[in-house]
Amino acid sequence: MMESGTPLCQLCGESVGSSPSGEVFVACHGCNYPLCQSCLDYTINGGRSSCPRCETPYDHHEVNGESGNQIWKNRVESWKEKKNKKTKSSAKKVPKESNIPLEQQMEEKESPEATEPLSRTVPIPSNKITPYRIVIVMRLIILGLFFHYRITNPVDSAYGLWLTSIICEIWFALSWVLDQFPKWSPVERETYIDTLSARYEKEGEPCELAAVDFFVSTVDPLKEPPLITANTVLSILAADYPVEKVSCYVSDDGSAMLTFESLAETSEFARKWVPFCKKYSIEPRAPEFYFSQKIDYLKDKVQPSFVKERRAMKRDYEEYKVRVNALVAKAQKTPDEGWTMQDGTPWPGNNPRDHPGMIQVFLGHSGAHDIEGNELPRLVYVSREKRPGYQHHKKAGAMNALIRVSAILTNAPYILNLDCDHYVNNSKAVREGMCFMMDPQVGRDVCYVQFPQRFDGIDRSDRYANRNTVFFDVNMKGLDGIQGPVYVGTGCMFNRQALYGYGPPSLPTLPKDSSCSFCCCCCRPKKPSKDKTEIYRNSKREDLNAAIFNLGEIDNYDEHERSLLISQLSFEKTFGLSSVFIESTLMEYGGVAESSSNPSTLIKEAIHVISCGYEEKTEWGKEIGWIYGSVTEDILTGFKMQCRGWRSIYCMPLRPAFKGSAPINLSDRLHQVLRWALGSVEIFLSRHCPLWYGFGGGRLKWLQRLAYINTIVYPFTSLPLIAYCSLPAICLLTGKFIIPTLTNLASLWFLGLFISIILTSVLELRWSGVGIEELWRNEQFWVIGGVSAHLFAVFQGFLKMAAGLDTNFTVTAKASDDAEFGELYMFKWTTLLIPPTTLLVVNLVGVVAGFSDALNSGYEAWGPLFGKVFFAMWVILHLYPFLKGLMGRQNRTPTIVVLWSVLLASVFSLLWVKVDPFLSKTNGTMATQSCNSIDC
């Protein structure tokens, strides 16, 4: 890429040449963007007056070919000197190997393991996927014919109801297209961790596996129990991965001394737990969940000492739990003077909204050993600085603080983030992810490897679809066949360089123009072609909103050489004022900067990068790190990466990699869904909306864009869903219907639509392995969440945009049950329960009214009643889990619910039969006799 120490022009691909004074030509003194004099003149004549990288205005000295950037000249001279040394050094080595044939050298270097793949893509068999695709196309055609019939056959007697139903059905059809077509090419993957180990963990040689920094985030230890967080940390420290390659960072965004003290206890217990797990290959390596397993723990264990040591370890764990629970009990009431540490000094985080940054290294590679004398992974406590008047951006801001701290202390090239309640269930999960990240062919363009979320403690029937099986086992597999799964917030392994805003190595590069040479300053270049101009325009950062820097341009240089190509000023505007951190960003393969080997200096710098004002006037949260602007920062962060051209990988080991806990109570589950939906609405109303963001360059594939559009528009389905679920009751109460009398051809379209819907679901279950009960639960909660949480999210999102109001929905606990799944039957009143309760009552009353009317009108009324009741029962069946949630445990239905249900049904039935509110008394009999068809 460079000839004689001179960079290449980014427009024409030739050397930038020299200025009249004989020095390297510099187009921009702000960032030293490589551009030759001729292309600079062409760019300025075309109307551009500023640098395409840093937007610094060009001055007349640049235009006239003068060069006066001494910093740039010094860097080039330094680069030349180092390059010459490297050339001389390599020249000395050549004679030693000159006697060995080249073929023999290649054979010696490439072992059999080096050529074997680390992973394999397994496409869905054609006998499963081909019929699935055919049915999708058939369903699309049938939908077109169905809507042609519906639109051309209005119901004049119920025009308003007909028009409402048509609008709702069209929206549902569009939603189906957005959800269905990204699943066109699903794939599965296999990993070969034995090959990974053979390639990078050779006996007698240093381990070459890449290092990983784990991020664990927590806020309030009273809501997120410290014992659960501790189990997550212990499972990380005991992972089946070289200890010198693992570091665990715990973010305490609530600055709670309880979290700090519980981590101190955890670090001590880890000295016993980690060697026990590795000695006996324990799974899972979270003690709470290991000891609670109802399985034969002696299976596959042949060591005679195992039983004895397991009993001792369980006893140690119980004592550890007592100590942690004592800390929790102590923290229930905060002293008036605040908390005090063991040395008598006040706890710096007594005010969670106003405190300094805090970092404590509990375990490390030097001096921290387990009871057997082996090293332990690093464990670091981090609480970023909080001050009034600063925007801290909640979890996204905390994660960005962890990026900077970890870059200074360990700087692993890969980051794996977990929620505090998601423990490592598969000790080899890191190796599974590395099979993709460290694969020379696959890993170059992978920004993250996403693992599916699996959960403990969910009732067997999964009443509220907490497992999200359809999403994780169907939708995510479909996305893996396009550009990769979306980021879902936890259980995700990142390429650190992708988080820094760099583009993948496969970013398009400009072709060299062989017809034009710039060896001589007097040579007049040809005018760049239109195609080249288009390529240049499409590769600009401001048009693509893409990578800040393209690592592909400087991929062949080491860290020092990279720093010669991009000015320090440009980095400071992007990453902030920390020279140590900036140096770490150029180290593509990780490692701590050599210039800061003093531990005290590193800690001081780490405190600096988590200060409140560090991110001001930088690109943090805008282009790099976790992106701000939505409570679902995960979706937004992954979307930005894939707009830059990165792809992601979906990794599904046979043993689930991570497991967490889910809110199985109805109210808590609805609030969780509300948060997700609100985040989607916020993205829809932001500049990052997939409907218009990131089109430049075409780096986001169209099916991938459809998937992202689906993730941000699905809450708006709540509006037509509420209307559609209200239609059955209205039809039953008014005697009208939304469908006219069906002809034979119309019956064919309706039948074809129902059959295609059923076939699509059956074939989807066939290739995905999802059960029919899981699919049905997903459909049910789609309606339950749609008419409650999604509806509130839409209104709250628009309220925040229009008036800046943030509406909070309070939850009041009424009762709890200590038995298994007791939380499932807990009743918590919340505003989210009102819309679905209303729909249930109205449809139940409508069914009662419909039967009452049929009994009053004679047998002729039973025919039209069938279609209306079927429509109403569709709504009631979908809301049935919600009804069970309202009633609580079976045989313990609240009396007030039963009384009100019977009272409402009885009163409305009597009112309907005796008063006939929808028919006038003068012509009621005539109207009843003439209303015998389905289009009445």
> Which residue type occupies 648?
S
Write the pLDDT tens digit of every residue in 418-465: 998 899 999 999 999 999 999 888 888 899 999 999 998 887 888 888
* Residue 421 marked in a binding site: no
Q: Which is higher by pLDDT, 35 or 915?
A: 35
Between 60-64, 148-152, 472-476, the lowest mean confidence (pLDDT) is in 60-64
**Which H or E element spans position 359?**
strand 358-363
Q: Is the dihedral of CA 692, 696, 698, 700 positive or negative?
A: negative
Q: Is 808 exposed, middle or buried (0-12, 13-18, 19+ CB in 10 A)?
A: exposed
Q: Which is higher by pLDDT, 281 or 80?
A: 281
Give residue 568's pLDDT: 54
Q: What number of other Cβ atoms are within 10 A of residue 305's Cβ?
A: 9
**pLDDT category, 299, cuts 50, 70, 90?**
confident
* Residue 394 marked in a binding site: yes
Q: Which is higher by pLDDT, 630 or 894?
A: 630
Write the pLDDT tens digit of every residue in 84-93: 544 444 444 4
Taking Cα atoms as reference points, which of 702, 684, 827 lies closest to residue 177?
702
pLDDT at 921 over 60: no
Q: Which is higher by pLDDT, 737 or 593?
A: 737
Looking at the DSSP bridge assignments, the partners of residue 251 are 217, 382
pLDDT at 102 over 60: no
Structure tokens at 579: 């020279």
pLDDT at 264 over 60: yes
853 is catalytic: no
How many Å separate Cα 480 from the centre of its chain?
Answer: 14
Tell me which residue has tokens 């599974």. 432
Write the pLDDT tens digit of every residue in 398-415: 999 999 999 999 889 999
Give residue 234's pLDDT: 95
Query: Which position among 253, 370, 473, 480 bears the catalytic label?
Result: 253
What are the counts of helices (DSSP H) followed by strands (DSSP E) for the chain? 35, 15
Q: How far is it, in rounded angstroms, from Cα 310 to Cα 307?
A: 5
Cβ(511)–Cβ(536) below 8 Å: no
Tell me which residue has tokens 């300094």. 356
Average pLDDT over residues 735-746: 80
370 is catalytic: no
pLDDT at 681 over 80: yes
Q: Can you state the percent helix, strand and coil of the chain, rounding each to 5?
A: 55, 10, 40
Cβ(697)–Cβ(546) below 8 Å: yes
Give residue 812's pLDDT: 38
Write the pLDDT tens digit of every residue in 326-349: 999 988 888 888 888 887 888 888
What do you get for the CA distance between the two ends of the chain, in Å? 78
Write the pLDDT tens digit of every residue in 244-255: 899 999 999 888
> Which residue type occupies 583?
E
Q: What number of other Cβ atoms are within 10 A of residue 4's Cβ?
A: 8
* Residue 561 marked in a binding site: no
Give residue 1's pLDDT: 36
Cβ(42)–Cβ(49) below 8 Å: no
In the three-class reduction of DSSP (H, G, I as helix; E, B as strand; rest coil), residue 261 is classed as helix
Give residue 668's pLDDT: 83
Give residue 557's pLDDT: 53
Give residue 820's pLDDT: 57
Tell me which residue has tokens 């501790």. 230
* Residue 217 marked in a binding site: yes
Q: Which is higher by pLDDT, 861 or 506?
A: 506
* Residue 252 marked in a binding site: no
Give residue 922's pLDDT: 44
Task: Give, to the nearest 10 degrees, the angle between helix 862-878 and helix 880-887.
Answer: 60
Q: How far is it, in rounded angstroms, from Cα 843 to Cα 847?
A: 6
Q: How far is it, in rounded angstroms, from Cα 779 to Cα 874?
A: 11
Give residue 335's pLDDT: 85
Query: Which position among 252, 370, 634, 935 bears the catalytic label?
Result: 634
SS3 letters for 130-168? HHHHHHHHHHHHHHHHHHHHHHHCCCHHHHHHHHHHHHH
Residues 487-526 as b/e (b if ≥16 CB within 10 A, e otherwise) read: bbbbbbbbbbbbbbbbbbeebeebeebeebebeeeeeebe
Average pLDDT over residues 881-888: 74
Taking Cα atoms as reference points, which of 603, 632, 601, 628 lies closest to residue 615?
628
Between 140-154, 430-444, 686-700, the lowest mean confidence (pLDDT) is in 686-700
- Residue 921 backbone phi and psi in degrees, to 5: -70, -25
pLDDT at 706 over 90: yes
How many Å separate Cα 108 from the centre of its chain?
Answer: 43
Q: What number of other Cβ atoms are within 10 A of residue 877's Cβ?
A: 14
* Cα–Cα separations (whole angstroms), residue 906 to 325, 728, 894, 902, 918: 53, 19, 19, 6, 18
Q: Which is higher by pLDDT, 790 or 518?
A: 790
**pLDDT category, 898, cuts 50, 70, 90?**
low
Structure tokens at 437: 């990240």
**pLDDT category, 884, cuts 50, 70, 90?**
confident
Between 272-276, 306-310, 341-345, 482-486, the lowest mean confidence (pLDDT) is in 341-345
In terms of phi and psi (left: phi > 0; alpha: psi -120 to 50; beta: otherwise), the region of 821 is left
In terms of phi and psi (left: phi > 0; alpha: psi -120 to 50; beta: otherwise), the region of 221 is alpha
Give residue 576's pLDDT: 85
Most confident residue range from 104-113, 786-795, 825-834: 786-795
Structure tokens at 699: 């780096």
Q: How far is it, in rounded angstroms, from Cα 144 to Cα 177?
A: 12
SS3 letters for 641-658? HHHCCCEEEECCCCCCCE
Q: What is the mean pLDDT of the chain?
A: 78
